[in-house]
Amino acid sequence: MTTKVAKMSNCTTGCPTQDCPSYAACLKGKRTKVAYANSAGGFDYTAQKKWDRDLAAYKDARNQGIQPSNTTRAAVDRAVAISNESGKAWDAS
């Protein structure tokens, strides 16, 4: 009775060729990157989502002709409020 032994692959499960010389070579070929590796320092996905929302709000304000003093949410909200009260687009520059 013979037993089949499965060949161990050096590749990741999603590798199309499954013939890489090492696991590291497979990852390098897929161009993988490490993201959000410093969550203890405040650099995590939650911070990234907040940053993206702030920039989206800034972009929306700029599309309305409003020029906030900077890209923080507080500055954007302040510029939008001033624009709404005055009836014309605020330009902080």
Which sequence spans correspond to the domains of the chain? Answer: 8-35, 38-86
pTM, 2 dp = 0.58
pLDDT in tens, 21-54: 988 888 888 877 777 777 677 777 888 889 999 9
pLDDT at 8: 66
The chain-wide mean pLDDT, for the chain, equals 85
pLDDT at 39: 67
What is the full DSSP assignment across 9-57? PSS-TT-SS---SSHHHHHHHHT----S-BGGGTBSHHHHHHHHHHHHH
Helix H or strand E segment including 73: helix 73-86
Gap between the Cα atoms of 32 and 22, Å rounded? 15
Give yes or no for residue 18 having a pLDDT over 70: yes
Instruction: For residue 3, name the pLDDT band (cuts at 50, 70, 90).
Output: low
